[in-house]
A and B are shown apart, each in its own frame.
Chain A
Amino acid sequence: MKSIFFLLMIAGSLCGCGSDSPPAVTAGRSLTDSTGTAFSLEPLPSRIISFAPYITQNIYLLGAGDKLVGVTKFCKLPAGEKKQVIGDLLTQDIERIIQLKPELVLATKEGNKPEVVNQLKGLGIRVFVLSEANSWKDIRSGFMQMAELLGKTADAQKILEQLEVRLSAVREKNALAGSPSKVFFQLSEQFHTAAKDTFADEVITQAGAVNIAHNAVGRWPMLSAEEVIAQDPDLIIIPLMGNITEQAKAGWEKFPLLKAVKSNKIVIADADLCCLPTPENFVGLTELISEILHK
């Protein structure tokens, strides 16, 4: 028993290191994914399956939507588009995937199960595993990786340049503002929120504000109502999640002394904008927060 445990520990420590930092985008004709698998960039894939809503959004952003043959249940498609659904984030319909004969499957390291990735690889399907991206820098490099795989580097660079311009406009505005405002990003009725190393936290920082849960333990902590009240945020953002959202908003209105309630800064925002780490959403949400705070 003991020796098995020891072996597991060693296996864990060996495999754990080295794979965390996103690999640099190589200039050659191949690209390495977060599992260390090298991919040649030629020929360009014409049948792609996306394993995450943000990947699907990025593919459309890059203008490669026509190459997409399979998406997840949660992927939002532009009006009129219809794609084969291959499952959700955790369970994928392997049979359907085989039938679609994809030339490339784009998966995420954090969102998709490694077992599924291995299973597909065992079936001879090419799976590129993107590493998780939350900060602007990582989102940019992940986006560029996808662009390289799809042969859309020039388009991607143009998109990123335009987004940079919008971001620097926000930064200029921040420089004029006084002390940073406090933001609470509410994910559930139980006050689940996003702490550091998350998309929401990075966006709040870029918008020149402070995430009140930045230093909480864990990445998705559950704060107490007392703590939120004590911190007295200037802005409460609630991603739209059905009935719960309105209830959560109504819940805060029982505390008329809170700054966010007084100035009517409890904002229900689009869930995709808040949670899908695409470059466009990053900038969009940053602008939204900055705009509300500096109104």
Chain B
Amino acid sequence: MRKIIFLILFVLLIISAFIALRFGSVGIEWREFWHSFTHPSEQGTAHSIIWLTRFPRVLAAVLVGAGLAAAGCALQGLLRNPLAEPYTLGISGGAALGAAVVTVFMPIHLGAWTTPVSAFFGAMVSVTLVYLIAGRRRFSVTGLILAGVILSFIFSSAVLLILTLASPLETNSILFWLIGSLSGDKVSIIKAIPFFIIPGIAILYLFGRDLDAIALGDEKAFHLGVEAIRVRQILFVVTSMVAGACIAAAGMVGFVGLIIPHAMRMMIGPGHKPLIIASSLAGAAFLVLADTVARTVLSRHGQELPVGVVTGIIGGMFFIILLLKQREKMSF
């Protein structure tokens, strides 16, 4: 049964990627489309659009979607909290502050790397602080969540402070980034984020059984031979790296890390090993589709939506339907 679900999700991902390559703001005829598929090295308008513009973006969506969903899934188990998501432990606030500071005060020019590097740097500063604070409380669940939430508040307020000082254009640029978007040059960033996201997901998968044990409570986990504190330490760092890379690539794309793991849990049950594979596949497919909607829905008016808006609205409604269908209590 599980294998069939994995297969379905995988096929879904392939179809989503195909749709994303096929459709965009500019219509391309089937003939041209196939031609640039069968002759991927031939230059031309269709080639530029499909291989140099859409393809890097689809790859980025696959990686970010998979990373966010897997990280969210692991954190929900790790913190025994259905509201946990990749941004719960203070990553988002730090990343936002990093991006905002660089946008407004330090005009460093690293080309396509400027915002990703500053966001990642900010996220890592914030994560380090959360780690140090939570460490004083022996990495208890409450310690981690409280440290994460409070630091997020502090950093978010600092971002608001910067927004009030920034010029209208800078403000727009930061706000657009905060909503989460896959627009812009993704050619460089997709050469870097796989090194964080793919091994990250693999490690989360390997810790699947430990997560199952921790979901029962620290004490029960201990009797099953799992050191909850140690696991939390390691997985906190791993999920932070994954989420940090996702944020660097796409800003704050909400909801993927929250709803995809829940939806998958409803479908295949609470075991973390299969759950992480299923979440990664479903997260990737979902974000690829959501980004296709974001790119095309208003393109006739010359407007692109931030993908975060689409994931929030579509994802939210989809999730409510799932909740209404699922009668019994959700299990972890």
Interface residues of A (CB under 8 A from B): 1, 4-5, 8, 11-12, 15-16, 72-73, 85-91, 93-96, 98-99, 101, 110-111, 113-116, 118-119, 122-124, 187, 192, 218-220, 222
Binary interface encoding of chain B residues 155-194 relative to chain A, with 1 for a CB under 8 A from any of its CBs, else 0? 0000000001111110011001000010111010000000
Residues of chain A within 8 A (CB-CB) of B115 are 115
Q: Among residues 88 to 123 in chain B, which have CB atoms less than 8 Å away from a CB atom of chain A?
A: 106-112, 114-115, 117-118, 121
Pick out which of these stretches binds chain A: B4-12, B45-53, B74-82, B137-145: B45-53
Whether, in the assembled complex, B25 has its beta carbon less than 8 Å from a beta carbon of chain A, the answer is yes
30 pairs across A/B with beta carbons < 8 Å?
A4-B121, A8-B106, A8-B108, A12-B107, A12-B109, A15-B108, A15-B109, A16-B108, A16-B109, A73-B303, A85-B301, A85-B302, A87-B303, A89-B169, A90-B173, A93-B299, A94-B49, A95-B53, A95-B54, A98-B49, A114-B109, A114-B111, A115-B111, A115-B184, A118-B112, A119-B184, A122-B187, A124-B48, A218-B165, A219-B167
Question: How far apart are A10's CB and chain B's nearest CB, in angstroms?
Answer: 9
A-B residue pair count with CB separations less than 8 angstroms: 112
Residues of B with C-beta under 8 A to A118: 111-112, 185
- The residues of A that contact B218 with a CB separation of less than 8 Å are none
Cross-chain contact B176 with A220 (CB below 8 angstroms): no
Give chain A residues whose Cβ lies under 8 Å from the Cβ of B111: 114-115, 118
> Closest CB of chain B to A109's CB: distance in Å?
10
Give the residues in chain B near A95, CB-CB below 8 Å. 24-26, 49, 53-54
User: CA–CA, A189 to B187, complex, Å?
Assistant: 41
Chain B residues in the interface with A (C-beta under 8 A): 24-26, 45, 48-49, 52-54, 106-112, 114-115, 117-118, 121, 124-125, 128, 164-169, 172-173, 176, 181, 183-185, 187, 299, 301-304
Query: Are B302 and A101 closer than 8 Å at their CB atoms?
Result: no
Interchain nearest-CB distance for A51 vs B (Å): 12
15 additional A-B pairs beyond A94-B53, A95-B26, beta carbons within 8 Å, are A1-B124, A8-B110, A12-B108, A15-B109, A86-B302, A93-B304, A95-B25, A96-B25, A96-B302, A98-B26, A98-B48, A116-B185, A119-B185, A122-B185, A123-B48
Contact (A222, B52) CB under 8 Å given A1-B124, A90-B172, A118-B185:
no
Nearest opposing residue in chain B for A122, CB measure: B187
For the complex, what is the distance from the CA of A114 to the CA of B169, rounded to whole Å?
A: 13
Residues of B within 8 Å of A91, CB to CB, are 176, 181, 183, 303-304
How far is B164's CA from A192's CA once the two chains are assembled, in angstroms? 10
Given contacts A15-B109, A122-B185, contact A8 B121 (CB under 8 A): yes
Chain A's closest residue to B169 (CB) is: A111
Instruction: Determine the chain A residues whose CB is within 8 A of the CB of B53 once the complex forms.
Output: 94-95, 98, 123
A4 and B128 CA atoms in complex are apart in Å by 15
Whether A98 and B169, one on each chain, are in contact in the complex, defined by CB atoms closer than 8 angstroms, is no
Residues of chain A within 8 A (CB-CB) of B118 are 8
Q: Flag if A93 contacts B184 (CB, 8 Å).
A: no
- Complex alpha-carbon distance, A16 and B112, angstroms: 16
A52 to chain B, nearest CB (A): 11
Q: Is the CB of A87 within 8 A of B109?
A: no
A90 to B304, CA, bound (A): 10
A1 to B127, CA, bound (A): 12
Q: Which 4 A-B residue pairs are closest in the complex by CB-CB distance?
A: A85-B302, A12-B108, A119-B185, A15-B109
Cα distance A8–B102 in the bound complex, in angstroms: 10
Q: Which residues of A contact B303 (CB under 8 A)?
A: 73, 87-88, 91
Given the complex, which residues of A lie within 8 Å of B181, measured CB to CB?
Answer: 91
Interchain CB contact under 8 A, A119 and B112:
yes
Tell me how far the C-beta of B29 lies from the nearest C-beta in chain A, rounded to whole angstroms. Answer: 12
Across-interface contacts of A73 in B (CB, < 8 A): 301-303
Chain B residues, CB < 8 A from A72: 302
Q: In the complex, A124→B49 CA distance in Å?
A: 12
Contact indicator B108/A88 (Cβ below 8 Å): no
Q: Which of B54, B167, B302 contacts A87 (CB 8 A)?
A: B302
Shortest Cβ distance from B187 into A: residue: A122
**Which of A11, A15, A220 is within 8 Å of B168, CB to CB?**
A220
Cβ–Cβ contact A93 & B176, under 8 A = no
- Which of A4, A101, A113 has the most chain B CB atoms closer than 10 A to its own CB? A113
Bound-complex Cα distance A167 to B257 (A)? 59
The residue on A at minimum CB distance from B304 is A91
Option from A8, A96, A99, A110 in Cβ contact (under 8 Å) with B169: A110
Closest chain A residue to B124, Cβ basis: A1
Least distance between A83 CB and chain B CB atoms (Å): 10
Which of B108, B167, B184, B187 interacts with A113 by CB under 8 Å?
B184
Interface hub of B45, B53, B110, B185 (most chain A Cβ within 10 A): B185
Using A1-B124, A73-B301, A93-B299 as known contacts, say yes or no to A8 and B25 having CB atoms under 8 A apart: no
